[in-house]
């Protein structure tokens, strides 16, 4: 009995005691080894040295034996000599092993198994004993490697027809938590092969049950069938694939009943090489806008699935994209961890660019479809601008659209700027609960009357995103409810006017910072604007967050604007001269009214109602 090398023993212990939930990935690991072994022999045949081998001769076979609880996986690849069995299976993959071990000590979960694969030893997640019977190509001697994991392994001479390797797993006993018997079930095995190794380039054969009519009776027969499809859709030529094929592929792979809104089939060559098949769903997944949602793309290398959720391949703001990437990298643990991270980063950047250009193309050439897209995922793009202090605004600012008050449709920022009046300095926007509510706002009327367009911001995140944008094509964003909107608003500064506004400010106390007269308000007697960084809308959004309460409440610096052209202003002046107590009440009522127009709930609606009544007396 030989002992495993210390390093190997540690990884092995990890496998034997694995709490990893995706134990099924051992199938992927073993099939991928078979495929590699066949590759090695096949290349040898192509480069001379070996003759009389044809590609069609190669195959992988899986056989389950329920009675003995064994699973056999065999290939007719290059095989191993006794020395190779000793070297290859006694020592875990050489170069990356140390990193793997360290990584695991840090994480102390075995997530990395799913990420990068751990090869042959994963068999010990499901088997109590493993036998490897192998005959190297060109040798007439076969050998059997046997191990029950913990004690070590033995290698002895054996008999085998033909070259290649046959691995027998003696499955662990079933427990309350784990039902290992499922790996002997024909349907389960078929599913797993299709899930993880569908695109292995050699046939994976297995005996399957068929039903045949015989003398009027249905009879069960076993028949050997190829389980994997061998050619991945994404490796086919685009013009050989129909929309129906793409749609079916998407629906099957991502469990969506609906065809995707957009399919992107692309490949890159040069510094990074990959093929990708990406989809934008028609609607957000049920949990898309919640914490439970996981972003990521499936990652294949050489047709073998490495992980079905590689989150490093997608930025958060494109997290709605589904799909897969197939890259020729050997992403197994024998590569340096750092190296493939860098590779992945490059692929990610390239994919990100591609998604952006496809979206831009849709925006420019198929606006109707883009509107559908934006309805589903526009919010995500706007969050993308807001997140990371606006670091990604360059990437995203051309992809967002807002409803224009003047044009009554969705416009891009670039379209807004193109349509700006000659004397217009700013990009105007207004927040509000709906487009209708925004259109009715006195502040919006002011700006539209001056001949300028206003963008409607109805999502909570909008104004925050705009703050991070700051400018677009060097034009500054200005809220119509801001202090200085750059529109002439002159009111004669008489003593009487001054006295009236000062009195009203006094009456309102610290509810407002200022009361000012305005000549450009149209139909409404008053409106609220704000000074400084924080707008009234932001105050509303921030204060609605669960962790902002009581003394923590945030306050915008508010300004009450009074329309000097409205009959109410005459009443104000009259009360100032005749009944100051009444003006006090009127001031409070007008302030509350302005809040209501903004969609802010009043602290005391009862008090407001009583005050209105008292004024009517
Ligand atoms: P990796 O495949 O990442 O190198 P593994 O632990 O899966 O690591 O396998 C170790 C080595 O054992 C392989 O590199 C290969 O040389 C050898 N090996 C494993 N399975 C087979 C097989 N079916 N046929 C031939 N060689 C194999």
By mean pLDDT, which of 13-27, 28-42, 193-207 is the weakest?
13-27
By mean pLDDT, which of 51-55, 150-154, 375-379 is the weakest?
51-55
What is the Cα 617 distance to its own chain's centre?
Answer: 61
Residue closest via CA to ligand 1's atom 10 equals 88
Mutate to test the pocket of ligand 1, among 74, 120, 164, 335 (most ligand atoms within 8 A of CB): 120
Residue closest via CA to ligand 1's atom 20 equals 33
By mean pLDDT, which of 243-247, 260-264, 301-305, 433-437 is the weakest?
301-305
Each residue of 529-572: pLDDT tens digit?
988 888 888 888 888 777 766 777 778 899 999 999 999 999 99
State the pLDDT at residue 338: 41
What average pLDDT does the segment 421-440 reach?
Answer: 93
Q: Distance, CA 168 to ligand 1 centroid (Å)?
A: 15
Distance CA(372)–CA(180), nearest Å, equals 46
Please answer whether residues 2 and 153 qualify as being in contact, where contact means their C-beta atoms are separated by less than 8 angstroms.
yes
What average pLDDT does the segment 507-536 reach?
Answer: 89
Q: Distance, CA 88 to ligand 1 centroid (Å)?
A: 6
Residue closest via CA to ligand 1's atom 11 equals 88
Q: Distance, CA 165 to ligand 1 centroid (Å)?
A: 10
Q: Are strands 297-301 and 322-327 parallel, antiparallel or unpaired?
A: parallel
By mean pLDDT, which of 269-273, 441-445, 468-472 is the weakest?
269-273
Q: Distance, CA 116 to ligand 1 centroid (Å)?
A: 15
Average pLDDT, the chain: 87
By mean pLDDT, which of 111-115, 317-321, 397-401, 454-458 is the weakest?
111-115
Whole-model pTM: value is 0.69
State the pLDDT at residue 455: 98
pLDDT of 94 higher than 80 = no
State the pLDDT at residue 251: 85
Residues with CB under 6 A from ligand 1: 29, 33-34, 37, 75, 77-80, 88-89, 93, 119-121, 165, 332, 334
Distance CA(369)–CA(374), nearest Å, equals 9
Which of residues 62 and 92 earns the better pLDDT score? 62
Q: For the chain, how far is it from start to end, CA to CA, in angstroms? A: 105
State the pLDDT at residue 340: 58
pLDDT of 332 higher than 50 = no
Q: Distance, CA 232 to ligand 1 centroid (Å)?
A: 24
In 3D space, the residue among 532, 421, 533, 417 whose CA is nearest the CA of residue 475 turns out to be 417
In 3D space, the residue among 281, 426, 303, 279 whose CA is nearest the CA of residue 35 turns out to be 303
Half-sphere exposure of 84 toward its Cβ, with a 13 Å CA cutoff? Answer: 17
Distance CA(590)–CA(540), nearest Å, equals 19
Where residue 283 falls among pLDDT bands split at 50, 70, 90?
A: very high
Where residue 601 falls among pLDDT bands split at 50, 70, 90?
A: confident
Mutate to test the pocket of ligand 1, among 61, 88, 334 (most ligand atoms within 8 A of CB): 88
pLDDT of 333 higher than 50 = no
Q: How many CB atoms lie within 10 A of CB 359?
A: 22
Each residue of 173-187: pLDDT tens digit?
999 989 999 999 999
Ligand 1: atom nearest CA of 117 is 3
State the pLDDT at residue 106: 45
What average pLDDT does the segment 281-291 reach?
Answer: 89
Domains and CATH numbers, the chain: 6-226 (3.30.565.10), 233-372 (3.30.230.80), 400-488 (3.40.50.11260), 489-617 (1.20.120.790)
State the pLDDT at residue 254: 85
Each residue of 189-235: pLDDT tens digit?
999 998 888 878 899 999 999 998 888 888 899 999 999 988 888 98
Ligand 1: atom nearest CA of 77 is 24
Share of the chain above pLDDT 90, in %: 59
Which of residues 370 and 304 earns the better pLDDT score? 370
SS (H, E, C) 316-367: HHHCCCEEEEEECCCCCCCCCHHHHHHHHHHHHHHHHHHHHHHHHHHHHHCH
Q: Is 604 exposed, middle or buried (0-12, 13-18, 19+ CB in 10 A)?
A: exposed
DSSP string, 140-188: S-EEEEEE-SSS-EEEEEE--SSSEEEEEEEEPPP-SS--GGGGG-HHH
pLDDT of 102 higher than 60 = no
Distance CA(414)–CA(559), nearest Å, equals 32
Distance CA(561)–CA(576), nearest Å, equals 17
What average pLDDT does the segment 302-314 reach?
Answer: 78
């Amino acid at each position: 009995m030989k002992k495993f090398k210390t390093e190997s023993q540690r990884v092995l212990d990890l496998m034997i005691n694995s709490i990893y939930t995706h134990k099924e990935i051992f199938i992927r690991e073993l099939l991928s080894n078979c495929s590699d072994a066949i590759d090695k022999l096949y290349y040898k045949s192509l480069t001379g040295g070996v003759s009389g081998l044809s590609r069609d001769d190669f195959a992988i076979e899986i056989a389950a034996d329920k009675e003995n609880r064994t699973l056999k996986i065999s290939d007719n690849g290059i095989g191993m000599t006794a020395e190779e069995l000793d070297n290859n299976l006694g020592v875990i993959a050489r170069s990356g092993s140390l990193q793997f071990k360290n990584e695991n000590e840090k994480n102390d979960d075995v997530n990395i198994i799913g990420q990068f694969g751990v090869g042959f030893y994963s068999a010990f997640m499901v088997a109590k004993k493993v036998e490897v019977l192998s005959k190297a190509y060109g040798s007439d001697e076969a050998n059997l490697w046997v191990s029950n994991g913990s004690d070590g392994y033995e290698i002895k001479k054996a008999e085998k027809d033909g070259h290649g390797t046959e691995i027998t797993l003696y499955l662990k006993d079933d427990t309350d938590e784990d039902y290992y018997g499922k790996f002997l079930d024909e349907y389960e095995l078929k599913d797993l092969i299709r899930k993880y190794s569908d695109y292995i380039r050699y046939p994976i054969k297995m005996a399957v049950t068929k039903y045949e009519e015989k003398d009027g009776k249905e009879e069960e027969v076993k028949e050997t069938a190829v389980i994997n499809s061998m050619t991945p859709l994404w490796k086919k030529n685009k013009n050989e694939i129909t929309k129906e094929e793409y749609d079916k592929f998407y629906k099957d792979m991502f469990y969506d009943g609906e065809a995707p809104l957009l399919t992107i089939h692309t490949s890159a060559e040069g510094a990074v090489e990959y093929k990708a098949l990406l989809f934008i769903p028609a609607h957000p997944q049920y949990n898309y806008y919640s914490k439970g949602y996981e972003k990521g793309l499936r990652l294949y290398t050489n047709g073998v699935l490495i992980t079905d959720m590689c989150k490093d391949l997608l930025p958060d703001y494109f997290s709605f994209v589904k799909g897969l990437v197939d890259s020729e990298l050997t992403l197994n643990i024998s590569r340096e961890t750092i190296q493939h991270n860098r590779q992945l980063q490059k692929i990610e950047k390239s994919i990100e660019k591609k998604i952006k250009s496809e979206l831009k193309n849709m925006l420019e050439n198929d606006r109707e479809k883009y509107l559908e897209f934006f309805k589903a995922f526009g919010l995500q793009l706007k969050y993308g601008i807001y997140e990371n202090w606006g670091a990604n605004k360059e990437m995203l600012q051309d992809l967002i659209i807002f409803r224009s008050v003047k044009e009554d449709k969705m416009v891009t920022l670039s379209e807004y700027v193109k349509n700006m009046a000659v004397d217009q300095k700013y990009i105007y926007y207004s927040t509000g609960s709906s487009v209708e509510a925004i259109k009715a706002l006195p502040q919006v009327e002011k700006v539209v009357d001056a001949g300028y367009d206003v963008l409607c911001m109805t999502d909570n995140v909008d104004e925050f995103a705009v703050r991070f944008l700051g400018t677009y094509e060097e034009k500054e964003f200005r809220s119509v409810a801001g202090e200085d909107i750059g529109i002439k608003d002159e009111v004669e500064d008489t003593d009487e006017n001054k006295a009236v506004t000062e009195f009203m400010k006094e009456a309102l106390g610290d509810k407002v910072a200022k009361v000012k007269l305005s000549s450009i308000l149209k139909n409404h007697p008053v409106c609220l604007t704000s000074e400084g960084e924080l707008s009234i809308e932001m105050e509303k959004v921030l204060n609605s967050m669960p962790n902002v309460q009581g003394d923590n409440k945030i306050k915008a610096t508010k300004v009450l604007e009074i329309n000097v052209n409205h009959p109410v202003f005459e009443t104000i002046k009259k009360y100032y001269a005749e009944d100051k107590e009444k003006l006090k009440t009127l001031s409070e009522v007008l302030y509350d009214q302005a809040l209501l127009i903004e969609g802010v709930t009043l602290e005391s609606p009862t008090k407001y109602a009583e005050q209105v009544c008292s004024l009517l007396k």
